[in-house]
Amino acid sequence: MLRIWGRTNSTNVKKVLWCAEELALPFERIDAGGAYGVVDEPAYRAMNPNGLIPCLQDDDLVLWESNAIVRYLCAKYGRGSLHEADPAARAEADKWMDWTTSSLASPFKAVFWNTVRLSAEQRDDKALEEGLAACGTLLGRVDRTLSEQPFLSGTAWGMGDIPLGCFAYAWFEMDIERPDLPHLAAWYARLQSRPAYRQHVMIALT
């Protein structure tokens, strides 16, 4: 059985749990990260020297980096469903997965930490403001794409929707001023119709 390390309220862990659930894969989840610790223990560091979550074990394979884990699960267990055989179609999904990590994650983190994670005294208003502006611009690009196709993966829900789908829940849950992005909102509503999304992604942020 798959083993997945990571607390359930981590955005990066949610990607893996949602993906595994969509693929109907049985898994054992082990609490790690945040208040659970574990990530600094030598046994964990031997699996993931970064001391971050998530981490996956599948037989002899130990894997870290959430997008790499999602890709692996889809390639190994999602042939005929989540794994796109056509390299061009798969690249479309890959593109949004990488974009979410390389472009959105950093400004999003500034918003998330200064809204949800830090205490009122610790919050940095300027960082929050800059993060909100950057996220608004970036999500505006997503909105334009979603005005032309129902999902980031294309005509059907797929792997490319998983990373941003996890960020989207927090984006719409946080007590922040959001720009009006109707296609992003409609896509988020489509995600909410998926039981696995509701089960693993739409859970309390703290």
Ligand X SMILES: N[C@@H](CCC(=O)N[C@@H](CS)C(=O)NCC(=O)O)C(=O)O
Amino acid at 5: W
Residue 10 near residue 33, CB atoms below 8 Å: yes
* 4 near ligand X, rule: CB under 6 A: no
* 31 near ligand X, rule: CB under 6 A: no
Residue closer to ligand X (CB basis): 105 or 185 = 105
Alpha carbons 44 and 39: distance in angstroms, whole number: 6
Residue closer to ligand X (CB basis): 5 or 197 = 5
**4-12, 75-83, 122-130, 174-182 -> range binding ligand X (CB under 6 A):** 4-12
* Least separation in angstroms between CB 39 and ligand X: 5
**22-30, 50-58, 152-160, 171-179 -> range binding ligand X (CB under 6 A):** 50-58
Does 54 sit behind a cis peptide bond, omega within 30 degrees of 0 on the bond before it?
yes
99, 85, 104: which is closest to 158 by C-alpha? 85
Residue closer to ligand X (CB basis): 10 or 115 = 10
Alpha carbons 205 and 109: distance in angstroms, whole number: 13
How do 55-58 and 2-5 pair as beta strands?
Answer: antiparallel
**What 3-state class would DSSP assign to 51?**
coil
- In the region spanning residues 56 to 115, those forming contacts with ligand X, defined by CB under 6 A, are 65-67
Using CB under 6 A, list all residues that contact ligand X. Answer: 10-12, 33-34, 39, 52-54, 65-67
